Structure 1
């Protein structure tokens, strides 16, 4: 297994050290704008973007391992590390495999399922939950927490109902906001999932969901909208299913029209693991970061399977041939850089804590408030 997590990369550390100096001029001149945390984040994004090559812009859009994506070593921009949630910080896995790495220092607090959190009907409990799990993600040096989930319960056969916030759009909308706000105070991005209409497990990778506009906007989207516009979520994960004939991880109507245009979302759209299916659609229809595509380096004829992700070499080839928009590429890269400045390169975030007495007490309190007695 490659060295990967706690210290990330030497180049990243050099960049963070420069930022920690407060952006003061060094012996060879002033610190670059993108490294100066006193500068507005959009100014830093534009400065970093102007320094990147075409290849570097593409490289930050796709995975380099099961749960990480590359940074820009030449510029000291660190990697992005994701972790599964939303009930606990997933144990470390091997770089290229799903098997656990066997670490002995990654035991986390197991928090109640989000269906239990929703059953408290108490936004204060949601804030406590987000604060606690955000501290654990931060302590483990994670940049994106893959949660919370806010898909609406529509069938009891959906095996992932337990990790969503119930069957009521209003309740989900009220509970998701404090969760996100508290997670992100730790310098960890909340990644709200699964956008959208991912309400059953059967045929989930290919089913084309049919729903009218009223149901879409009154039932299935309110919690996501609140997460973005009120909670200020820094990331959204696309769903496996299709809608209007396109997979949700590169769905023009959901991602470009609703999420980014109508809701003014300025974060990243992350694919679900294995949810990307087409380079042209991924390039044009709103996907920003691709993870978990089931590539095989041997069968694809490359030494590094990650180079064959849809937003990797195939996308780079389209750009070099003039078949893809460089303006769209820059929009994707801006979003990823914005994410990195908010998380991995944020030197002002707290240190976090892992499996602490406070977190165990929080889990017990939330569970107690969420328990509901049913009478037959």
Structure 2
């Protein structure tokens, strides 16, 4: 097979803007589908240990179905991925109030985040797709005109490479991620997947999923994946944090220097032999086990099940604008926000 190719088809329209579905195929036969609505990764099919191509992402079938996406299936989340306490933060003495859309807090950019936008197609390459969005000053009450570009690439080494860039004309906050839900088996629960994570600490939170500010060692807790362990082994433990999250839905601190590209960890599913390595430049990863997926629909209109997918959402920590001890999410005019995350697939 030739190196990565890209195919484009019309996929409908939203508010008068045409939406496209792009299919990238690499030299090992893996197939990645992306739409410029919400920057959603619609599908990723890759071989199992027997060479059979299969789906490893949760998803939906049509653009109309993605208009109702309460689980944020495979979207670009922004302008601020994850939660901000009570939707409130301050910059240089100016107070901002965001939409409250997740209990008492703001989640994933507010009422209409980046996941609901038709992104511009900036560049179509043989091996990549670049999409862009201008988030105007005051959108969802965030300050500054924020110009964002996200580039998706599919390598012949079976890597999904996601590169982000953003600039602003007024001081603002930025935290972007890709909210992909993985299931290396393609069906059923992900509790049998085995993880090994390069994360030696996590940020515990209160009953509303807002970090307390503590950075806690994973040792002696259900969050210790420093050695390989099934996702399901301690997911329903009586540990306070897994009770708060009804499983895992926490920011883990990646063991690497701030800003450097490094390993998040590995996931493995034994029956298919599929494995995945994840890398990022971000300081944290939201490890989420799809505890609320039963509220959503997947392909063929079928009801998803609790814990049918897991997320490695590479990002800065939740509520960082209100936690000065956390790495900063502030972006000033003249600066450039960049982020790179890679998911590499193989069999063993």
TM-score scaled by structure 1?
0.25
- Give the TM-score, by structure 2 length: 0.26
Higher helix share: 1
